[in-house]
């Protein structure tokens, strides 16, 4: 009887050890494959940087961004990674800068409400975007609430652009405006905890390609501030 009890105890101990080894192996394999592939959705308030003195913004200028980022961990703990993504965005800017086709090209006029009254004047860019990121986070394979800082470069290609004016001059709509730079690129940073993250973008090149108003070069760039949500 004593021998039987010793055999049972030994079997139980062996089973527990085997189960622990198997669990550790599964966890190690899971950790070794852990990555933060994510869908993202962002809402931004858009500003014009480097404006000429006579150009101003009015109203709320908005941006909407969505896409997917693939995660490539670069260290053993997998809390540092590179990110490569693909997305779409729509970016509108309300301002006093009228874009009007004149047959041979476009006229660019800075509006003065004392001379021309209007209720709407904006341009919009629709872009395909490619985010490139260096990513740091405190997450693990089984922890979905964590701190993060992602920073890098966002490259956008303008697939369509438009402008719309409503006022004393009537309704003026322009589409596929050739004076926009096809490529828009800038530095980005997003940081936060869990779902809520602040987002900032600073454009490194001008929105327009070599245009001027009253002999003043228009080198305005895009600045975007808002919230970005990452969804696993």
* DSSP states along the chain: -HHHHHHHHHHHHHHHHHHHHHHHHHHHHHHHH----EEEEEEEEEEEES--TT--B-S--EEEEEEEEEEEE-STT--EEEEEEEEEEEEEEEBSEEEEE-SSSEEEEE--TTTS-EEEEEEEEEEEEEEEEEEEE--BTTB---EEEEEEEEEEEEEEEEEEEEETTEEEEEES-TTB-SEEEEEEEEEEETTEEEEEEEESS-SBSS-EETTEE---EEEEEEEEEEE-
Query: Structurally, what CATH architecture does the domain formed by 35-231 represent?
Result: Beta Barrel (2.40)
Which of the residue ranges 32-41, 43-52, 167-176 has the most confident prediction, judged by mean pLDDT?
43-52
Mean pLDDT, all residues of the chain: 86
Q: Parse the chain into domains and list their residue ranges.
A: 1-33, 35-231
pLDDT value at residue 109: 86
Does residue 180 carry a pLDDT above 70? yes
């Amino acid at each position: 009887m004593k021998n039987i009890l010793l055999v049972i105890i030994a079997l139980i101990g062996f089973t527990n050890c085997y189960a622990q080894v198997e669990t550790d192996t599964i966890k190690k394999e899971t950790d070794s494959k852990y990555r933060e592939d994510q869908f993202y959705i962002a809402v931004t308030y858009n500003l014009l940087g480097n404006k000429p003195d006579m150009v101003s913004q009015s109203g709320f200028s908005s941006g909407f961004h969505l896409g997917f980022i693939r995660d490539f961990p670069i260290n053993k703990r997998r809390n540092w990674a590179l990110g490569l993504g693909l997305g779409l965005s729509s970016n509108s800017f309300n301002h006093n800068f009228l874009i009007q086709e004149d047959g041979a090209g476009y006229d660019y006029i800075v509006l003065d409400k004392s001379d021309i009254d209007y209720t709407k004047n904006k341009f919009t860019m629709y872009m395909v975007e490619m985010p490139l990121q260096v990513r740091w986070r405190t997450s693990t394979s089984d922890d979905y609430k964590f701190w993060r800082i992602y920073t890098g470069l966002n490259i956008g290609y303008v697939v369509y652009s438009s402008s719309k004016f409503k006022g004393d001059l009537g309704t003026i709509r322009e589409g596929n405006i050739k004076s926009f730079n096809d490529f828009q690129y800038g530095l980005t940073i997003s940081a936060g905890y869990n779902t809520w993250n602040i987002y900032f973008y600073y454009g490194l090149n001008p929105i327009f390609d070599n245009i001027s108003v009253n002999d003043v070069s228009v080198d305005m760039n895009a600045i975007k501030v808002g919230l970005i949500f990452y969804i696993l």
